[in-house]
Chains A and B, each alone.
Chain A
Amino acid sequence: MSCCGGKKEVLFEKEDMCIDLAQLKPVLKKYAGKEGSLISILQEVQEIYNYLPLEALYYIAEETGINPTKIHGVATFYTQFRLKPIGKNLIMLCQGTACHVNGSKLIEEALCDELSIKEGETTEDNLFTLSNVACLGCCSLSPVMMINDETYGKLTPDEARKIVRDIIEEEKVKKGA
Chain B
Amino acid sequence: MKIVVGQGSCGIAAGANKVYAAIEKALQSKNVEAELASTGCIGMCYLEPIIEIIDNEGKKETYVQVNPDIVDEIIETSLIKKEQHEKFSISQEDANILEKQERVALRNCGMINPESIDEYIARGGYEAIEKAIKSKTPDEIIEEIKISGLRGRGGAGFPTWFKWNAAKQSVGNQKYIICNADEGDPGAFMDRSILEGDPHSIIEGMLIGGYAMGATEGIIYVRAEYPLAIVRLKIAIEEARKKGYLGKNLFNENRFDFEMRIKAGAGAFVCGEETALIASLEGERGMPRLKPPFPAQKGYWQLPSNINNVETLANVPWILQNGGVAFAAMGTEKSKGTKVFALTGKIKKGGLVEVPMGIPLKEIIYEIGGGIMNDKSFKAVQMGGPSGGCIPHHLIETSVDYESITKTGAIMGSGGMVVMDETTCMVDMARFFLDFTRKESCGKCIHCRIGTNRMLEILTRITEGEGKDGDIELLEELGTKIKEGSLCGLGQTAPNPVLSTIRYFRDEYEKHIYDKKCPAKQCSNLLTYSINSENCIGCTLCAKKCPTNAISGERKQVHDIQQDLCIKCGKCKEVCKFNAVEVQ
Interface residues of A (CB under 8 A from B): 35-40, 42-43, 73-74, 77-81, 95-98, 100-102, 133-142, 144, 151, 153, 157
- Contact A142:B225 (CB < 8 A) given known A98-B418, A134-B436: no
State whether A78 touches B268 (Cβ < 8 A).
yes
State whether B432 touches A135 (Cβ < 8 A).
no
State whether A73 touches B285 (Cβ < 8 A).
yes
- The distance in angstroms between the C-alpha atoms of A78 and B284, with both chains bound, is 10
Min CB distance, A118 to chain B, in Å?
16
Task: Convert B176-192 into 0s and 1s, putting 1 for each residue whose CB lies closer than 8 angstroms to a CB of A.
Answer: 00000001111111001
Min CB distance, B19 to chain A, in Å?
14
| Subset of 9 A-B contacts with CB under 8 Å | A36-B284, A78-B286, A97-B385, A100-B186, A101-B345, A101-B420, A135-B189, A136-B9, A138-B45
Partner of B13, one of A38, A43, A74, A144: A144
Given the complex, which residues of B lie within 8 Å of A97, measured CB to CB?
Answer: 186-187, 344-345, 382, 385, 416, 418, 432-433
State whether B266 touches A80 (Cβ < 8 A).
yes
Given the complex, which residues of B lie within 8 Å of A36, measured CB to CB?
Answer: 281-284, 301
Given the complex, which residues of A lie within 8 Å of B442, measured CB to CB?
Answer: 77
- The distance in angstroms between the C-alpha atoms of A137 and B41, with both chains bound, is 12
Given the complex, which residues of A lie within 8 Å of B342, measured CB to CB?
Answer: 139
- Contact A100:B267 (CB < 8 A) given known A138-B10, A141-B45: no
- The distance in angstroms between the C-alpha atoms of A34 and B189, with both chains bound, is 32
Partner of B424, one of A37, A74, A101: A101
Partner of B187, one of A42, A74, A96, A153: A96
State whether B186 touches A135 (Cβ < 8 A).
yes
B226 interface hit (Cβ, 8 Å): yes
Q: Which of B12, B184, B187, B574 has the most CB of A within 10 A?
A: B187
Min CB distance, B207 to chain A, in Å?
24
State whether B192 touches A137 (Cβ < 8 A).
yes
State whether B285 touches A139 (Cβ < 8 A).
no
B243 interface hit (Cβ, 8 Å): no
State whether A141 touches B188 (Cβ < 8 A).
no
Which chain A residue has the least Cβ–Cβ distance from B547? A113
State whether A141 touches B14 (Cβ < 8 A).
yes
- Contact A137:B9 (CB < 8 A) given known A40-B263, A73-B285, A97-B432: yes
- Contact A100:B432 (CB < 8 A) given known A40-B263, A77-B286: yes
B295 interface hit (Cβ, 8 Å): no
Residues facing A in B1-32 (CB within 8 A) are 9-10, 12-14
Given the complex, which residues of B lie within 8 Å of A101, measured CB to CB?
Answer: 345-346, 418, 420, 424, 429
Partner of B350, one of A37, A74, A96, A140: A140
Sorted nearest first, the 6 A-B pairs with minimum C-beta distance are A140-B45, A97-B187, A78-B266, A96-B186, A151-B13, A38-B283
Min CB distance, B244 to chain A, in Å?
26
Which chain B residue has the least Cβ–Cβ distance from A109? B569
- Given A80-B267, A97-B432, A140-B48: 6 more A-B contacts, CB < 8 Å: A101-B345, A102-B345, A138-B10, A139-B189, A140-B45, A141-B45
- The distance in angstroms between the C-alpha atoms of A134 and B437, with both chains bound, is 11
Min CB distance, A129 to chain B, in Å?
16
- The distance in angstroms between the C-alpha atoms of A134 and B264, with both chains bound, is 17
B161 interface hit (Cβ, 8 Å): no
Partner of A135, one of B12, B188, B433: B188
Partner of A74, one of B185, B283, B346, B385: B283
B351 interface hit (Cβ, 8 Å): yes
Partner of A140, one of B266, B351, B424: B351
- Contact A141:B436 (CB < 8 A) given known A77-B268, A80-B266, A97-B385: no
B46 interface hit (Cβ, 8 Å): yes
Given the complex, which residues of A lie within 8 Å of B429, measured CB to CB?
Answer: 101
Q: Which of B183, B189, B286, B416 has the most CB of A within 10 A?
A: B189
Task: Convert B275-302 into 0s and 1s, putting 1 for each residue whose CB lies closer than 8 angstroms to a CB of A.
Answer: 0000011111110000000000000010
- The distance in angstroms between the C-alpha atoms of A140 and B11, with both chains bound, is 10
- The distance in angstroms between the C-alpha atoms of A74 and B286, with both chains bound, is 9
Which chain A residue has the least Cβ–Cβ distance from B351? A140
Given the complex, which residues of A lie within 8 Å of B420, measured CB to CB?
Answer: 101
Given the complex, which residues of A lie within 8 Å of B281, measured CB to CB?
Answer: 36
- The distance in angstroms between the C-alpha atoms of A57 and B189, with both chains bound, is 34
- The distance in angstroms between the C-alpha atoms of A81 and B281, with both chains bound, is 16
- The distance in angstroms between the C-alpha atoms of A21 and B9, with both chains bound, is 35
Partner of A39, one of B46, B269, B280, B345: B280
- The distance in angstroms between the C-alpha atoms of A36 and B278, with both chains bound, is 10
Given the complex, which residues of B lie within 8 Å of A100, measured CB to CB?
Answer: 186, 432
- The distance in angstroms between the C-alpha atoms of A2 and B227, with both chains bound, is 36
- The distance in angstroms between the C-alpha atoms of A26 and B214, with both chains bound, is 35
Min CB distance, B293 to chain A, in Å?
19
- The distance in angstroms between the C-alpha atoms of A138 and B284, with both chains bound, is 30
B558 interface hit (Cβ, 8 Å): no
- The distance in angstroms between the C-alpha atoms of A80 and B345, with both chains bound, is 26
Given the complex, which residues of B lie within 8 Å of A139, measured CB to CB?
Answer: 45, 187, 189, 342, 344-345, 350
Given the complex, which residues of A lie within 8 Å of B90, measured CB to CB?
Answer: none
Given the complex, which residues of A lie within 8 Å of B265, measured CB to CB?
Answer: 78, 80
Partner of A37, one of B268, B283, B432: B283
Task: Convert B285-325 into 0s and 1s, putting 1 for each residue whose CB lies closer than 8 angstroms to a CB of A.
Answer: 11000000000000001000000000000000000000000
Min CB distance, A42 to chain B, in Å?
7
- The distance in angstroms between the C-alpha atoms of A141 and B301, with both chains bound, is 41
- Contact A43:B264 (CB < 8 A) given known A97-B416, A141-B14: yes
B478 interface hit (Cβ, 8 Å): no
State whether B283 touches A133 (Cβ < 8 A).
no
